[in-house]
Structure 1
Amino acid sequence: MPQPHIRTARPEDGEELGALDRAAWSTLHEVTPEPQPPYRPFFGDRYPVHGCLVAELDGRIAGYVRLAQPTPFPASAHVRQIQGIAVAREARGHGVGRALVRAAIDSAREQGARRITLRVLGHNTPARGLYTAEGFEVEGVLPEEFLIGGTYVDDVLMGRPL
């Protein structure tokens, strides 16, 4: 399989990214209920187009990553946070997630950030392994922060310098 091509999202990607996001929904990485119609737009005030990077394989969208400043305060302007990542089921295992994480790191650097952070559910072993392999370290754990499907799940805070 070819290497994924990473690019900045375009407004016209919203419908396809929304469909990918809904198809990728899982209690492995989501704390919100499974989306039901009518669906919210993929892009909006909280998640603008310019904060999203898209992975393409063979000209088709295979995944995305959202990158943003974690708070609106000037005191945290030097930090970027991965605020969502998804890979299409058929593209998993082909380096798309790794390419997206690396692109997010590069983008954060280009934006002048000194750190990049993320939050991941404690039971999401595949994602935690990817993040660790890309230099992220556990910086904190909120034990049993979420109740998902009758099970308490930790919220793991990870980060790395740039």
Structure 2
Amino acid sequence: MASDVVIRPARAEDEREVAELFRSAWSRVSEPGPRRPADAALFDERHPVEGFLVAESAGRIVGYVIQAPASPLETNRHVRHIRGLAVLESARGLGVGRALVEAVCGAARAAGARRMTLRVLGHNEPAQRLYRRCGFAVVGVLPEEFLLDGVYVDDVWMSRSLADPDGSGQP
């Protein structure tokens, strides 16, 4: 990773910059939902600022990751879920994505979580490679879950243990 990149919790005043990155990174390769309106708030009840970590370089946000409880059930509070990850195009290939994933897994582990899960579109090979490098494994596939621009796309579920630092399953 570029040595000048710092991963930190997002702050309320980051919303405009994170929302711009969110909109610039949106594509059918990574998003099954509609594009958010330009004036839509990003930090909201479903995406509270506390769930975001940002990567900052030279005073500019170059990436973010969003995590939240996997469900509202108390019986599964030990599982966290990555709800989104984006890296500014000019910062890709520098290790920012991996640093964000490792940081969010570390934060979840420190808060008592034992497992991290995520969903990724089947045709998003770059994201799947990143997650595999970070210790995630495919735990299920919902075939043809989404119809995107006339093409059926699988929904791939991935997971990793947080009980050990590298997610390998080894203590």
Specify the TM-score bucket, using the shorter chain as the normaliser.
over 0.9
> CA separation in 2, counterparts of 1:144 and 1:127?
18
Q: Deviations over 1:55-97 (max 9, x none)?
A: 0112210010001101111011000000011111111111110
Match of 1:51 in 2: 51
Cα offset, 1:3, TM superposition: 4.5
TM-superposition CA deviations, 1:104-158 (whole Å, max 9, x none): 1101101100100000000000000010011100000000000001100000000
The alignment yields a C-alpha RMSD, in angstroms, of 1.0
Superposed structure 1 runs of 4+ greater than 4 Å apart: none
- How many residues are paired up? 161
Partner Cα separation in structure 2 for residue 144 and residue 75 of structure 1? 30
Q: Which runs of 5+ in 2 are unaligned?
A: 163-171
Q: Give CA deviations for 1:23-55 in whole Å, capped at 9, x if unaligned.
A: 111111001122334x32110111111110000
Relative to structure 1, the CA distance from residue 29 to residue 45 in structure 2 (aligned partners, 3 Å threshold; closer, same or farther) is same
User: Is 2:14 the counterpart of 1:13?
Assistant: yes
Q: Partner residue of 1:102?
A: 102
SS in 2 for 1:71: coil
Match of 1:78 in 2: 78
Contact residue 4 and residue 58 of structure 2 kept, 8 A: no
Q: 1:36 aligns to what SS in structure 2?
A: coil
Q: Is the 8 A contact 1:4 1:99 kept in 2?
A: no
Residue type of the partner of 2:31?
E
1:41 maps onto 2:41 in alignment: yes
Structure 1 distance, partners of 2:69, 2:11, is: 20
Q: Are residues 122 and 3 of structure 1, via their aligned partners in 2, closer, same or farther at CA, if it must alter by over 3 Å?
A: farther
Q: Which amino acid aligns with 1:13?
A: D
Question: Normalized against structure 2, the TM-score is what?
Answer: 0.91
